[in-house]
A and B are shown apart, each in its own frame.
Chain A
Amino acid sequence: MKIEKVAVKCKDGRFPYIELGRFGRKPSLLVWVSGRLVQEGHIFFPANGRVVKTEKGSFVLKASDDYITHCIEIIDANRNGLPAIWRVDPPSAEVHEYTYDSSITGALISVPAGETVWVSWRTGGGWREGISVITPDGKYYEVTGFRDKEEVEEIRRLVDE
């Protein structure tokens, strides 16, 4: 599932941040955001920016024209354990995962602008596996039954030839 927007909170009225996921009472991932990316109190995805890690280990979503950050979530309604995102293409993608207790895995994925993102995932216990594709313009496609990009390319070659 593609996340379209996340509400922004503010610390001391100066430092905007977003909370993603939940681990007990705490957010699973806290990301400070550049004020330039805040619109109407929200961050809209895909966002023109990149998530970087500071020296002290905090995450900051910095505005950048060279990178795009997508936000997706994989949901497992069957309580089999957390879904796993086990591969992201292109390999240069920077992935920051978060979870909601024990049934949703999400990720902020930063890639160079103009690149299509392929995310391979499987739900807890391997009951369901699939692939999600996010195009540079933010369109999101999700299909079950595929392991990775190569499987799709192999079928495409046979179907098209």
Chain B
Amino acid sequence: MMKYIELDTEFSLVKTVRLGEIVLPYIGVGSEGHGAPSFRLWVSKRLLADGRKSISFPLLNATIVKTGGGHLVLVPSETHRVLKVIVPTRSSKIISVQPASAEVYRFKVYQSPCGSLGVWAGALIVAPLGEAVRVEWERLIKKFRWPAIARGFSIIYPDNTMHEEVLPDED
């Protein structure tokens, strides 16, 4: 069965920024011009206990905190989980995410250094534990005339299984 969105489960290697005595671990999220990440996601050292050198999503018991300067920090939480979803076609979009309490941090994945071969849409979604997440998306899809842009939604259940549907054309 075709998957319309991907739940990214790859390991992200933790890098560090060093400023004198200060060491800040982070992972780069997304991939824009010439491989530059869309943003740095700083990682709490409590999530890197036992010498862990990578982070993989979906991450249970974690949330993302936004600082006053607009930086994002991944910290432990007992009430939330963090998902990483990608809509893997060019010209794709993540239109909305439910429940409304879910926080969405969008990023892009360029398929070539300047994105000429397509830009995939992605998002980190912070959702309450135990609640299903509904992601409404727009992407290219194989139809009788190809390619065609279609809208649909995916429901990601707490056990990370997915139910996906394409919405009928409005015209």
Q: Taking beta carbons and an 8 Å cutoff, which residues of A are in contact with B?
A: 116, 131, 133, 135, 139, 141, 143, 145-147, 150-152, 154-156, 158-161
- Rounded to whole angstroms, the CA-CA distance of A151 and B69 in the bound complex is 6
Given contacts A135-B20, A143-B17, A152-B22, contact A158 B75 (CB under 8 A): yes
Known: A141-B18, A145-B40, A154-B69. 6 other contacts (CB 8 A): A135-B21, A143-B17, A155-B67, A156-B22, A159-B45, A160-B45
Task: State whether A159 touches B18 (Cβ < 8 A).
Answer: no
Task: State whether A133 touches B24 (Cβ < 8 A).
Answer: no
User: Does B166 touch A at the CB level, under 8 Å?
Assistant: no
Task: State whether A151 touches B19 (Cβ < 8 A).
Answer: no
Could you list some 13 contacts between A and B, CB below 8 A? Answer: A131-B19, A135-B21, A139-B20, A146-B69, A151-B71, A154-B71, A155-B24, A155-B73, A156-B24, A158-B67, A158-B73, A159-B24, A159-B45
Main secondary structure of the interface of B (DSSP, over half): strand
Minimum C-beta distance from A151 to chain B (A): 4
Q: Which 5 A-B pairs have the closest CB atoms?
A: A151-B69, A158-B73, A133-B19, A135-B20, A154-B67
Task: State whether B73 touches A159 (Cβ < 8 A).
Answer: yes
- Rounded to whole angstroms, the CA-CA distance of A160 and B69 in the bound complex is 18
Q: Which residue from A116, A133, A159, A161 sits with its C-beta under 8 Å from B42?
A: A159
Provide the B38-81 mask, 1 if CB < 8 A to any CB of A, else 0. Answer: 00101111100000000000000000010111010101000000
Main secondary structure of the interface of A (DSSP, over half): mixed
Task: State whether B42 touches A158 (Cβ < 8 A).
Answer: yes
- Rounded to whole angstroms, the CA-CA distance of A147 and B67 in the bound complex is 13
Taking each of B18, B19, B44, which has the highest tally of chain A beta carbons within 10 Å of its own beta carbon? B19
- Rounded to whole angstroms, the CA-CA distance of A159 and B18 in the bound complex is 13
Task: State whether A155 touches B20 (Cβ < 8 A).
Answer: no
Task: State whether B69 touches A147 (Cβ < 8 A).
Answer: yes
Contacts of A151 in B (CB 8 A): 67-69, 71
